[in-house]
Structure formats: structure tokens, C-alpha cells
């Protein structure tokens, strides 16, 4: 699950930080990611969530 748009770290091996940190996602936007995942074919239920920046 993403919790941010962009990344403040700027690791050389990762493209996510190229533009820096834009903003944090709202709680509603994070929950919407779960709803979107559950709507996918074959996704009966979510059992684990990993948060990433």
C-alpha cells in the first residue's frame, strides 16, 4: 500500500524519489487502495498489507 506520492529519501536505485516527496495520501485514499484490490478478480480477501512510502 502506498502512503505517499513521491519519496523524500532519493535512493540512487529507485525511481520513486526522483521528483522528491509530493504529499502524503489521505486515510481515505489509502483505504481506497484496499477496496480497489478487493475488487480484482481472484482477490477473495486481503490477508496482509505492507505499507510503503
Residue 32 has pLDDT above 90, yes or no: yes
pLDDT number for residue 2: 86
Query: How confident is the model at residue 47, as a pLDDT?
Result: 81
Confidence of residue 53 (pLDDT cuts 50, 70, 90): low
Q: What is the DSSP letter of 33?
A: H
- Domain span at residue 52 reads 1-53
Task: Tell me what pLDDT residue 48 has.
Answer: 83
- Residues 16-41 have a mean pLDDT of 90
pLDDT in tens, 7-28: 888 888 988 888 899 999 999 9
Our count of domains for the chain comes to 1
Amino acid at each position: 500500500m502506498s502512503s505517499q506520492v513521491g519519496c523524500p529519501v532519493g535512493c540512487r536505485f529507485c525511481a520513486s524519489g526522483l521528483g522528491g516527496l509530493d504529499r502524503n495520501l489521505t486515510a481515505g485514499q489509502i483505504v481506497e487502495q484496499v477496496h480497489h484490490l478487493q475488487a480484482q478478480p481472484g482477490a477473495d480477501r486481503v490477508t496482509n498489507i505492507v505499507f510503503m512510502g
